[in-house]
Amino acid sequence: MRDLSSDRDSAASRSGQGPFLSIIIPTFDVESYIGPCIDAITRQPFRDIEIIVVDGASADGTRSALEKRMPDEPRLTVEWTRRRGPGLARNIGAGKARGEYLWFVDADDVVAPGSLAAISERLATQRLDVLLINHAELQADGILKPGQDHALITRAGQAPFTIAQRPQMLDVGLVSWNKIIRREFFGSAEAEFAADWPHEDVPVSTELLLTAGEIGVLGRVCYHYRRHRPGSATSAGKRHRHFTAFDVWRPILKRNRDKLAAPSGNSRLTKEVYDALFQRSIWHCSTVLDTPGYIARADRREFFNHLSALYAEYVPDGYRPPGGFRGVKFALIAKDSYLGYAALYPLNKVRIAARALLPGR
């Protein structure tokens, strides 16, 4: 792969424009992770980047670690703020960014070696609105396993597409770090991360995928995701933190159902797309319910009732549920059968454990 770093550095210096890529990292009490995160970026030969860290009043050694790095790394800037949460921190970073493209990276994860040059080379040949990247899961023992989107990403090919052409791509993780986003498009889409978290990146991810004129994928693993880190926004926090998933999905589904009922010339929102969006919302919320440690046992029935209500309110006319085990779950959700769904829980735990052992999942 050709290293385009010197080409881009020269072009930037001649034109006076900003860098090719703005990497935005929200931080809060990540002293043990922020060093490796930044090192994984700055030690790559590709140089045409800026790194914008937005620190939400970290109480550990995060601030000190950042201050020590700033004098020796001119591409690094830090915005010091009060505790805002990852969503609002990303909004601040995006507002400061000067790059042609944006990449929202989590401070406890790692950018894969060589990924910056690979991303640059792909976007040099295709000026995409959104580039979906492949990722691997970084286990506690340091072993990398294929990420949950691996099969979907590697099957997608190189040709750009819209979501109307491939509604199934709504099944990718609705997170911020698996997308390289053209900054001008991000601004025109008026995408903003939600203030509450977790699930703050679902509205941005769905809006970008639904409105992008050209989406592409990069099968190369570019990101190492540290799954279920103790103290992360998904695994720690208030007891009812994951109930925000319903607050996030309801306006998304309502807005797009209304658009479908009164078309405004946006051909990307078709019935097939809305069906896929609805299915994604139910699968997302049911996955939250099924993930150990997310929903307290005493709250599971209440969460399921919210899920069934979401299904009943937004199910499309003529909707055909998926097949297999997922279809069984959808049928029980549609019938508001909590006891039937709960009976599947032990089987689902076995299924998840078995999938985790498969090398190519």
pLDDT of residue 268: 85
Distinct helix (H) and strand (E) counts, the chain? 13, 9
pLDDT at 22: 98
In contact, 231 and 256? CB cutoff 8 Å: no
Q: Can you give the pLDDT at residue 120? A: 97
CA end-to-end distance (rounded Å), the chain: 27
- Tell me whether residue 236 is in a domain: no
Same domain assignment for residues 254 and 352: yes
- What domain range includes position 46? 5-226
- Specify the pairing of strand 179-182 against strand 144-146: unpaired
Q: Do 14 and 139 share a domain, yes or no? A: yes
Domain-embedded: residue 199: yes
Same-domain status, 208 and 311: no
Which whole-number Å values give the CA distances from 256 to 156, 211, 291, in the listed order?
25, 11, 28
Query: From residue 300, how far is each of 110, 190, 306, 309, 338 by CA, in Å?
Result: 33, 35, 10, 14, 9
pLDDT at 138: 94
- Asked if residue 248 and residue 217 are part of one domain, the reply reads no
Q: Is 27 among the domain residues?
A: yes
Report the C-alpha gap between 333 and 321 in whole angstroms.
11
The confidence score (pLDDT) of residue 8 equals: 43
Domain boundary among 226, 260, 281: 226
Quick one: 168 and 300 in the same domain?
A: no
For residue 357, the model assigns a pLDDT of 52
Which is nearest to 106 in space by CA: 5, 24, 35?
24
The segments of the chain whose pLDDT lies below 50 read 1-15, 236, 358-361
* Axis-axis angle for helices 300-314, 338-356 (nearest 10): 100
Confidence at residue 191, expressed as pLDDT on a 0 to 100 scale: 87
Number of domain units in the chain = 2
Query: Residue 283: which of 271, 292, 275 has the closest Cα?
Result: 275
245/221 same-domain check: no
Distance, CA of 101 to CA of 182 (rounded, Å): 4
Which pLDDT belongs to residue 11?
40
- The answer as to whether 349 is a domain residue is yes
Calculate Rg over the CA atoms of the chain: 21
Asked whether the bond before 198 is cis by omega within 30 degrees of 0, the reply is: yes
Dihedral sign, Cα of residue 117, residue 228, residue 288, residue 246: negative
Cα separation, 190 vs 91, whole angstroms: 11
**Are 177 and 259 in the same domain?**
no
User: Could you report the per-residue pLDDT of 88-124, keeping only the tens digit for each?
Assistant: 999 999 999 999 999 999 999 999 999 999 999 999 9
In a domain, 245, yes or no: yes
Question: Residue-wise over 89-109: b if at least 16 C-beta within 10 A, else e?
Answer: bbbbbbeebebbbbbbbbbbb
Can you tell me whether residue 53 is helix, strand or coil? Answer: strand
Task: Note the pLDDT of residue 232.
Answer: 52
CB-based contact 101:75 (threshold 8 Å): no
The reply to whether 197 and 280 lie within a common domain is no
Domain identity same for 197 and 288: no
Q: Is residue 234 domain-resident?
A: no
Nearest alpha carbon to residue 126 among 166, 159, 172, 77: 159
Is 38 inside any structural domain?
yes
Residues 136 and 207 in one domain: yes
Query: Six-digit token pair at 257?
Result: 């159902």
Q: Are 149 and 173 in contact (CB under 8 A)?
A: yes
Residues 186 and 286 in one domain: no
Q: How far is residue 172's CA from residue 132's CA, in Å, rounded to a whole number?
A: 9
CATH of the domain at 185: 3.90.550.10
Q: Degrees (nearest 5) of the Cα angle 327, 330, 335?
A: 130
Q: Tell me: the pLDDT tens digits for 234-250?
A: 554 578 899 999 999 99
Whether 233 is in a domain gets the answer no
Considering 193, 226, 259, which residue would you say is the last residue of a domain?
Answer: 226
Same domain flag for 95 and 147: yes
Which of residues 192, 226, 260 is at a domain's end? 226
Q: Is the pTM of this model over 0.85?
A: yes
Instruction: Please report the pLDDT score of residue 32 as a whole number.
Output: 95
